[in-house]
Chains A and B, each alone.
Chain A
C-alpha cells in the first residue's frame, strides 16, 4: 500500500503523521509520500511552522514559500526515518484539496492522511473536508483534541508511548480523535 501524508506546514499535520505511525504496521506499507501544496495566489502561499527555529541564518530577505514547503516536508519525512517503507517527498502547487486528490490518484494511494485544523467551517469547507468527500481511497483525518476538560483528556490519552511533545499546543493533541472514512472498494 502507498500512503500519502499531506502537510500544510502546521504542527497538527506533524501530529497526524505521528499518529499514523502509532498503529500502522510498516511491513504492510510499501511506500510513503509526503506532500505539501503551495497556494500561489494565497496571502501566505505556504507557512512552515515545523522547522522555524532551524532557519535563522538563511537569507531571509528572500521570502521563499517553496523553501518553506520543502523544509516542512523534510521535517515530516524525518519522522519516518528508519521506520521501514521508502519515503518520497513531494511538492505541488495549486489548490490543496485538488492537488492532494490528484496526487493520490496518480500514486494509486491506499490511504490519505490529513490534519484538520479543528472547527468546522460555515462558509467554505476546509481542505480535509474536501479531501474526504472526493478522495479515491480511505482518508485518515487527524483532528486536534478538544481544548475543554484537559484533565480527563490526559487520563483518556493514557498511553504515554504515543508521547508527542513538539510544542505546548501539540501536547494537547496527543489524544487525537481520529476518524477514518472509507469509500469505494478499498482494502
Chain B
C-alpha cells in the first residue's frame, strides 16, 4: 500500500496521488467526444443540409466542422487552465467577473441544450417511424425523452464501457455508409460532378452559408466534454488531444459520409427524406437483404441519437443543479435522490421542457406553409434555435479564451494559435448574424427559453426573500 508513510493517530489529510484516483483516460475522453458529436448531427440533419446547398453540401459540413474545431481549441485551452465541470459559464465568469453575464451564458447553455435535446428527440422519432410507422411521431419523441430521463435517474449510462460501446456502434453505422459509397464508386456508377453542384435557387455562397449554419449543429455536443474534465487523468496533456482529435475524426467521417450521400442518392430524395442517411442504405448497394439492413441501420441511428441526447439531459440537470447551489434558481433543483444520488427534480424539469419544445415545434410545423414558402420542418426550427444559442456561447468562449491569456497559465497550459481563434470568433459571429437574419423567428424561441430562465430566477428571488423574512 502506498499510503502508510504518515504515522500518528490523528486525522490526516489526503496524502498522495494514489488516494485521488481519476478515471477518465485520454482514450475514453476521445470516445466520449466522438460519440457525443457523431450522434447529434449527421444522422439527423443530412437531408436538410443537402436540401439547402445541393450536391456540394459536403463543403458545408467541412466548413462547419472547421469553425467548430477552432472553437474546440479555445475550449481545450480553457479546460487545461480550469479543469472543472461548469464549462462556458465558468470561463465567462473568470474572464468578465460579471454575474449577470455569467447567468446569461448559463441560461443560454441550458436553452441550447434543451433545444438540442428536442431536435434529437425529433430525429429519433423520424428514424423510429422507418422501423414501425404506426405510432404517432410526437408520442415516440415524448416517450423517448421520458425513458431517457428515467435512465439518467437510475444511472445506467454512468458506465464508461457503455459509452464506448455506443460510440463504436455509431461509427459502425457511418462505416456502413462508407462501404456503400466505396462499392458504388467501384462499380463505376459515381458521377463526381455532383459533388460541385449547387442548389439552383440561390448563389453558391449563400447556399453554403445556409448549409454551414445547419451543419454546425452536427458538431455541437463537444463542449459537453467539460463534464468530465475534472475526472480526466492529466487533463493538460490529454484534454486538447482527445477533444480536438475526436472533433477532427468526426469531421472527416462527416465529410466522407456527406460525399457518399451526394454521390449515391439524388439530392431531391435526400432533402425530402426524414431519415436521409437511410436513403443511402436503401439504394440497395450492399449485398445484404434490404429490409434487414434498413432496420439495422435505423437502430444504429437511434442508438447514436440516444447517446447524444442522454449526454444533453445530463448536462441540463447538471447546469440546473449547479445554478441551484449558486442560488440562481430555486433550491429544489439541487435536490438529490437519497438512493440514486440523481438530481431528480432537475431531471423531471428538463424532460418537461424538452417535451414541450418538441410538442410546440411539432404543432407549428404541421400547419400549411404560406404559398411560395418552403415548409420548415419541426427539426429545422429546433436546430436553428440550438445553433443560434450555440454560436453565441462559442463566440463568448473564444472571447473569454483571448481575454484570459496570461492569466492562470502554467507550464502545461495548452495554447491555441491566436490568429486562428480570432478567425473562429469572426466566423462564429458571422454565422450567428446570418442565422438570425435567415430565420428571425428563432429569436422568438430564444427569447421564450431565456424568459423561462428569467422566471426561475425570479422565483428564487421571491422565495429567497420570503425565507430571509421568516428567519
When the two chains form their complex, are residues B23 and A64 in contact, meaning their CB atoms are under 8 A apart?
Answer: no
When the two chains form their complex, are residues A88 and B3 in contact, meaning their CB atoms are under 8 A apart?
Answer: yes
Query: What's the least CB distance linking A66 to chain B, in Å?
Result: 5
Q: Return the contact of A43 from the options B6, B12, B84, B314 (Cβ within 8 A).
A: B314
When the two chains form their complex, are residues A60 and B3 in contact, meaning their CB atoms are under 8 A apart?
Answer: no
Q: Return the contact of B23 from the options A44, A77, A93, A119 (Cβ within 8 A).
A: A93
| Cα distance, A38 to B338, chains bound together (Å) | 16
Q: Return the contact of B230 from the options A61, A65, A118 (Cβ within 8 A).
A: A65
Interface size on B, residues (CB 8 A): 58
| Cα distance, A119 to B326, chains bound together (Å) | 31
When the two chains form their complex, are residues A61 and B14 in contact, meaning their CB atoms are under 8 A apart?
Answer: no
Query: What's the least CB distance linking A12 to chain B, in Å?
Result: 7
When the two chains form their complex, are residues B19 and A88 in contact, meaning their CB atoms are under 8 A apart?
Answer: yes
When the two chains form their complex, are residues A41 and B85 in contact, meaning their CB atoms are under 8 A apart?
Answer: no
Query: What's the least CB distance linking A88 to chain B, in Å?
Result: 6
Q: List, in ascending order, chain A residues with CB within 8 A of B15's CB.
A: 88-89
Q: List, in ascending order, chain B residues with CB within 8 A of A9's CB.
A: 341
Query: What's the least CB distance linking A120 to chain B, in Å?
Result: 9
When the two chains form their complex, are residues A41 and B158 in contact, meaning their CB atoms are under 8 A apart?
Answer: yes
When the two chains form their complex, are residues A44 and B336 in contact, meaning their CB atoms are under 8 A apart?
Answer: yes
| Cα distance, A8 to B9, chains bound together (Å) | 25
| Cα distance, A121 to B84, chains bound together (Å) | 32
When the two chains form their complex, are residues A42 and B155 in contact, meaning their CB atoms are under 8 A apart?
Answer: yes
Segment at the B interface, from A14-22, A79-87, A154-162: A79-87
Closest residue of B by beta carbon distance from A82:
B10
Segment at the A interface, from B170-178, B316-324, B425-433: B316-324
Q: List, in ascending order, chain A residues with CB within 8 A of B21's CB.
A: 91-94
| Cα distance, A172 to B211, chains bound together (Å) | 61
Cβ proximity bits A107-142 to B, threshold 8 Å, 1 near / 0 not: 100000000111101011010000000000000000
When the two chains form their complex, are residues B11 and A81 in contact, meaning their CB atoms are under 8 A apart?
Answer: yes
Query: What's the least CB distance linking B169 to chain A, in Å?
Result: 17
When the two chains form their complex, are residues A77 and B317 in contact, meaning their CB atoms are under 8 A apart?
Answer: no
When the two chains form their complex, are residues B321 and A43 in contact, meaning their CB atoms are under 8 A apart?
Answer: yes
The answer to whether B100 has its CB under 8 Å from any CB of chain A is no
Given contacts A61-B102, A89-B12, contact A43 B7 (CB under 8 A): no
When the two chains form their complex, are residues B159 and A95 in contact, meaning their CB atoms are under 8 A apart?
Answer: yes
Q: List, in ascending order, chain B residues with CB within 8 A of A10's CB.
A: 338, 341
Closest residue of B by beta carbon distance from A52:
B325
Q: Return the contact of B338 from the options A92, A94, A95, A118 (Cβ within 8 A).
A: A118
| Cα distance, A39 to B23, chains bound together (Å) | 9
When the two chains form their complex, are residues A43 and B231 in contact, meaning their CB atoms are under 8 A apart?
Answer: no
Closest residue of A by beta carbon distance from B350:
A43
Query: What's the least CB distance linking A143 to chain B, in Å?
Result: 11
In this complex, which of A41, A82, A121 has the most chain B Cβ atoms within 10 angstroms of its Cβ? A41
The answer to whether B339 has its CB under 8 Å from any CB of chain A is yes
Nearest first, the 10 closest Cβ-Cβ pairs linking A and B are A117-B339, A40-B231, A93-B23, A63-B322, A61-B93, A47-B336, A117-B338, A43-B317, A94-B23, A92-B21
Query: 15 additional contacts, CB 8 Å, given A62-B82, A126-B340?
Result: A39-B341, A40-B24, A43-B313, A43-B342, A43-B347, A61-B86, A61-B90, A70-B14, A81-B10, A82-B10, A86-B10, A88-B3, A91-B20, A92-B23, A93-B24
